Amino acid sequence: MCAFIPLSFVSFSTRLTFSIPLLFSSLVWSGYLEYNQDVLIPEDWKHVGRVDPTEKLELTFALKQQNVDLLEETLRRVSDPDSAQYGKQLTLEEVSSLVRPSELTQKVVRCWLQSHGITDCLTVHTRDFLQCTMTAEVAETLLPGSKFQRYTRDSQSVVRSSAPYSVHDDVHQHLDFVGGLHRLPPKGQQELSKASSNRRQKPGVHLGVTPAILRARYNLSTTDVGTAQNNSQAVAQFLEQYYSPADLAEFMSMFGRSFQHHSQVDRVVGTQGTGKAGMEASLDVEYIMSTGANISTWVFTNPGRHESQEPFLQWMVLLSNMSDLPWVHTISYGDDEDSLSTAYMMRINTEFMKAGVRGISLLFASGDSGAGCKHLGKGQNSFRPSFPASSPFVTTVGGTSFKNPYKVTYEVTDYISGGGFSNVFKMPDYQTSAVDAYLKTVAATLPPQSYYNTSGRAYPDMAALSDNYWVVINRVPVPWVSGTSASTPVVGGMLSLINDQRLLKGLPALGFLNPRLYKLKGQALFDVTEGCHLSCLDEKVQGKGFCAAPSWDPVTGWGTPNYPELLATLLAE
């Protein structure tokens, strides 16, 4: 039985302690339900040993939310330009009122934690996350089956469970998942793209992509810069990636002379590391501030305050708790869908919906592995989609290259551009006609259907140049940097410019773009119709995934932005 003892919870935003009385009846633990049946530790992580029982861990409890179906319907209405509710976005308080867990859910979970002596917890405005600190011994008792171990990779050290965990049946129905047990940080996408770019270096042939090249290709003039006071944009960094203010200033002094710009980030949310700048972080910041020029920029940096934290999940929790957020966020981060639990991905999708109904645009890189490849055994393979790129509730950005490496010409597929079909999420209504048209148009040349799920969410949604960028890192200009980590902030910056003009006209921010993007049917975008991306190296597909085609395709989406036309189209109410 849970005693009537107040439990202390702290709001992330205010850091004020307050007490919530727990009026619980007794709980009868009738059984256990196991989570994450398969726990796979990637080979690049070295096992150090079992964690000391007294070591402190921080775990995140995702409480079941209410009205998720209504949240999805609300997102559809406020994002569909044909809806009478288009643009009527919600405040954080309104989102909180919609999805906040029931009183019963909150009480059951807190009672369960309290019964194990766990009282050091943080909550958020929406009350759907709890982050609690406890010893490893208590965590293993709370979550039977879990066994916490320490793993290292390069200079990173994390604590995760090497075995599945379970919770009591009575609690299971009130939880989506517990974070901080199984997910190990993946390799950064930029590490993959650097390797692929090295194979196509042509010293002395291509001078490389710079802000001036991007502005020329996408038709941004020197006056296409931000002026609205209530506009901002953001990039999010994980995996111990940091940007350097000195690198950013140097980059802008070298490449930003032809347009008005900021040379400093206005706000850093989180803790910047003290080591060398990361390629991923430098690329993101330098290029969102080049296309989204003169717009206030934030950096969310989430190395994790503790070895047991998951930085991506930390970022999602922050979005749930901040009432004042930038309108556009670009993220160059992803995992293989099959490496994540469905419960985890479904809950993250709900978090994306919560952002979308508030008018926030979330852009994710499509990845740098083409269609991907998973070996099923006995000589059988399948394509391997990436998440969050495969989420129906984000805008996913693929990659292109110049057809002629000597000139600013039309674009073709960058063979690393991630794309394909989700094996978890069904195809959203907004894209069914576009995808069906593609599948019919190229039916004769499609890969075997055993490799992919034609009824799944198809991605990417659009694209931009992803090949041969210049980046300043550790005060040195570095050429030939490639990947959808480059194309995503480039598109994000242009959407921020469009938001700027919308806000000046008294219009709401673009918010979740996809329903409107697909209704444009390629209008105001440069269609990419040449090239294929990579996939499995086997006899059936021989390394070739999907290929670009007229209109939408699962390599470059609808194509790349023609900024003046896209601005004019999206300025219409």
The domain that contains 356 carries what CATH number?
A: 3.40.50.200
Segment 33-53 shows an average pLDDT of 66
Out of 145-159, 414-428, 449-463, which region has the weakest mean confidence (pLDDT)? 145-159
Segment 211-222 shows an average pLDDT of 96
| pLDDT tops 90 at residue 405 | no
Segment 143-151 shows an average pLDDT of 85
CB count, 10 Å around CB of 282? 25
| pLDDT tops 60 at residue 7 | no
Give the pLDDT of residue 182: 61
Domain assignment of residue 402, yes or no:
yes
Contact 544, 448 (CB under 8 A): no
| pLDDT, mean over the chain | 86
Instruction: Classify strands 361-365 and 411-413 as parallel, antiparallel or unpaired.
Output: unpaired
Domain assignment of residue 316, yes or no:
yes
Segment 382-388 shows an average pLDDT of 96
Give the pLDDT of residue 46: 81
- Give the Cα separation of 422 and 452 in Å (integer): 8
Give the pLDDT of residue 41: 61
Domain assignment of residue 416, yes or no:
yes
Domain assignment of residue 540, yes or no:
yes
Segment 189-205 shows an average pLDDT of 37
> b/e string for 63-88 if b means 16 or more Cβ within 10 A?
bbbbebeebbebbbbbbbeeeeebbe
| pLDDT tops 70 at residue 143 | yes
Domain assignment of residue 548, yes or no:
yes
Q: Is 485 a catalytic residue?
A: yes
- Give the Cα separation of 438 and 453 in Å (integer): 14
pLDDT classification of 186: cutoffs 50, 70, 90: low
Contact 330, 363 (CB under 8 A): yes
Mean pLDDT comparison of 25-29, 227-231, 305-309, highest-scoring range = 227-231
| CA dihedral (47, 48, 54, 58) positive or negative | negative
**Residues spanned by the domain of 452:** 213-571
Domain assignment of residue 85, yes or no:
no
Segment 43-48 shows an average pLDDT of 75
Percent of the chain with pLDDT over 70: 85
User: Which is catalytic among the residues 485, 487, 496, 535?
Assistant: 485
Q: What is the pLDDT of residues 504-561, one digit of tens each?
A: 999 999 999 999 999 999 999 999 999 999 999 999 999 999 999 999 999 999 999 9
| pLDDT tops 90 at residue 326 | yes
User: Which is catalytic among the residues 128, 224, 240, 280?
Assistant: 280
> What total number of domains does the chain contain?
1
Out of 232-241, 296-305, 371-380, 509-518, which region has the weakest mean confidence (pLDDT)? 296-305
Pick the residue with more confidence: 278 or 458? 458
Percent of the chain with pLDDT over 90: 67
| pLDDT tops 60 at residue 205 | no
Q: What is the pLDDT of residues 476-497, one digit of tens each?
A: 999 999 999 999 999 999 999 9
Q: Is 390 a catalytic residue?
A: no
Distance (Å) of CA 464 to CA 192, 392, 421:
18, 20, 20
SS (H, E, C) 234-295: EEEECCCCCCCHHHHHHHHHHHCCCCCCCCCCCEEEECCCCCCCCHHHHHHHHHHHHHCCCC
Distance (Å) of CA 117 to CA 26, 139, 165:
16, 11, 19
Out of 163-167, 168-172, 267-271, 450-454, which region has the weakest mean confidence (pLDDT)? 163-167
Give the pLDDT of residue 294: 97
Tell me which long-range contacts 517-522 makes (C-beta under 8 A, separation of at least 24): 517/395, 517/461, 517/462, 517/558, 518/430, 518/431, 518/434, 518/461, 518/552, 518/558, 519/81, 519/82, 519/430, 520/558, 520/569, 521/434, 521/551, 521/558, 522/551, 522/552, 522/558, 522/559
Q: Is 154 a catalytic residue?
A: no
Q: What DSSP element (H or E) covers 303? A: none
Give the pLDDT of residue 275: 67
Domain assignment of residue 48, yes or no:
no
Segment 181-204 shows an average pLDDT of 43
- Give the Cα separation of 341 and 38 in Å (integer): 9
pLDDT classification of 183: cutoffs 50, 70, 90: low
Give the pLDDT of residue 201: 37
Domain assignment of residue 561, yes or no:
yes
> Which single residue is written with the structure tokens 């004019």?
568
The pTM for the full model equals 0.89
Out of 15-24, 226-235, 430-439, 481-490, which region has the weakest mean confidence (pLDDT)? 15-24
